[in-house]
């Protein structure tokens, strides 16, 4: 990871560590936790879409798989939560392979529709299967590791954002690795990548798996924090929200995914004072931001900083 990213990471970690001292109260912390959970999914989606150039409108499906598999195993078999979460990620990875193989032949809008269909299938399964159906699945144990149960909002906040930080570092290293370069290459030209020796199909499957595992990890964290899940949280609407996060933050930058996730999660909370008009204002803000900051918030900030640096030197 580059120097700029390293500095940003330090700022980011400081902000996260101080947040529970500034933003006290479980409501504020819970919004912070949901931001972190969404950021985790968004990072995966950002690598999939912004770097590898694949589209997914079914990310909530993987998120739901992670949540349900982990929740059901922990309730029915009483296994350690960490084992259940790993199982959730494994099942999501398997689902990603099943989705990726037919999706390899598809591009652009067609891929978007196929992934959307996948998300809907998962949503229907969660609704119809005997796991509580639409009324949800409850009594999920809290997250615990080595006998220590993470119950309080502030400790869970640190847990979630710790995971986000580690994932972000891992993702930056991935992007700058040999495989990361190849991912960006298939975005530009699959044929040329192939001719250079890149196994495009395998790489695409791998990136689908990666984004699915991130989403499933986030889903299982969600399940073990809220301790109650229902299919409504894993619908197409959530997939679209995730897409919004990545786009608003800036699809070509992992920091963008994190910033976008925080903005999209916090914004509706801030707009609550508009009461029944909140959704209108929300829509308006999103539309305007897409009109005026087309590249996304983070690339915009980077551009501004560079301009400043440039004019400072001149």
Partner 1 sequence: MLLDIRNLNVSYGGIKALRDVSISFEGKSIVSIIGANGAGKTTLLNAVMNIQPVVSGEVYFNGEKITGLPAHQLAAKGISLVPEGRMLFTHLTVLDNLVLGAYAFMKQLGKKDIEKRLGHVYELFPILKERTTQLAGTLSGGQQQMLAIGRALMSEPQLLMLDEPSMGLAPLLVKDILNVIKRLNEEGVSIFLIEQNARAALKLSHHAFVLESGVLVKSGSGAELLSDERVKKAYLGG
- Binding positions for partner 1, rule: CB under 8 A: 178, 181-182, 184-185, 187-189, 191-200
Residue 223 near residue 67, CB atoms below 8 Å: yes
CB of 175 to partner 1, least distance (A): 11
CB of 295 to partner 1, least distance (A): 13
CB of 192 to partner 1, least distance (A): 4
Name the nearest CA neighbour of 263 among 225, 290, 231, 291: 290
Residue 119 near residue 113, CB atoms below 8 Å: no
220 vs 60, 61, 127, 223, 228, CA distance in Å? Answer: 12, 13, 18, 5, 11
Considering beta carbons, is residue 72 or 246 the nearer one to partner 1?
Answer: 246
CB of 202 to partner 1, least distance (A): 9
Considering beta carbons, is residue 191 or 311 the nearer one to partner 1?
Answer: 191
Considering beta carbons, is residue 184 or 270 the nearer one to partner 1?
Answer: 184
Considering beta carbons, is residue 107 or 181 the nearer one to partner 1?
Answer: 181
CB of 194 to partner 1, least distance (A): 4
How far apart CA 59 and CA 278 sit, in angstroms, is: 26
8 vs 4, 25, 82, 139, CA distance in Å? Answer: 6, 27, 30, 39
Beta strands in 16-161 (DSSP E): 143-145, 148-150
Considering beta carbons, is residue 49 or 215 the nearer one to partner 1?
Answer: 49
Considering beta carbons, is residue 76 or 105 the nearer one to partner 1?
Answer: 105
Q: List the structure tokens of 288.
A: 């305007």
CB of 115 to partner 1, least distance (A): 23
What number of other Cβ atoms are within 10 A of residue 273's Cβ?
A: 9
Name the nearest CA neighbour of 291 among 237, 248, 239, 238: 248
């Amino acid at each position: 990871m580059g120097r700029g990213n390293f500095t940003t990471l330090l700022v980011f970690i400081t902000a996260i560590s101080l947040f529970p001292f500034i933003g006290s109260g479980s409501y504020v912390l819970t919004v912070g936790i949901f931001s972190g959970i969404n950021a985790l999914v968004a990072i995966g989606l950002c690598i999939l879409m912004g770097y590898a150039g694949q589209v997914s409108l079914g990310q909530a499906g993987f998120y739901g798989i992670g949540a349900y598999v982990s929740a059901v195993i922990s309730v029915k078999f009483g296994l350690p939560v960490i084992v259940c979460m790993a199982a959730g990620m494994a099942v999501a990875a398997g689902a990603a392979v099943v989705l990726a193989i037919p999706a390899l032949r598809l591009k652009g809008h067609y891929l978007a529709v196929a992934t959307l269909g996948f998300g809907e299938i998962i949503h229907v399964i969660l609704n119809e299967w005997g796991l509580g159906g639409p009324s949800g699945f409850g009594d999920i144990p809290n997250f615990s590791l080595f006998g220590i149960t993470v119950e309080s909002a502030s400790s869970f906040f640190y847990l979630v954002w710790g995971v986000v930080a580690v994932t972000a570092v891992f993702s930056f290293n991935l992007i700058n690795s040999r495989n990361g370069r190849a991912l960006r290459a298939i975005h530009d030209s699959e044929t040329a990548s192939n001719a250079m020796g890149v196994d495009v199909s395998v790489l695409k499957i791998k990136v689908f798996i990666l984004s699915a595992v991130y989403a499933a990890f986030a889903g299982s964290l969600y399940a073990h924090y809220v301790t109650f899940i229902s299919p409504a949280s894993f619908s197409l609407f959530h997939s679209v929200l995730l897409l919004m996060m990545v786009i608003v933050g800036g699809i070509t930058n992992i920091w963008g995914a994190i910033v976008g996730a925080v903005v999209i999660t916090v914004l509706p909370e801030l707009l609550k004072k508009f009461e029944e008009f909140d959704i209108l204002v929300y829509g308006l803000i999103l539309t305007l931001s897409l009109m005026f900051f087309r590249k996304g918030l983070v690339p915009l900030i980077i551009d501004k900083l560079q301009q400043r640096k440039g004019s400072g030197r001149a």
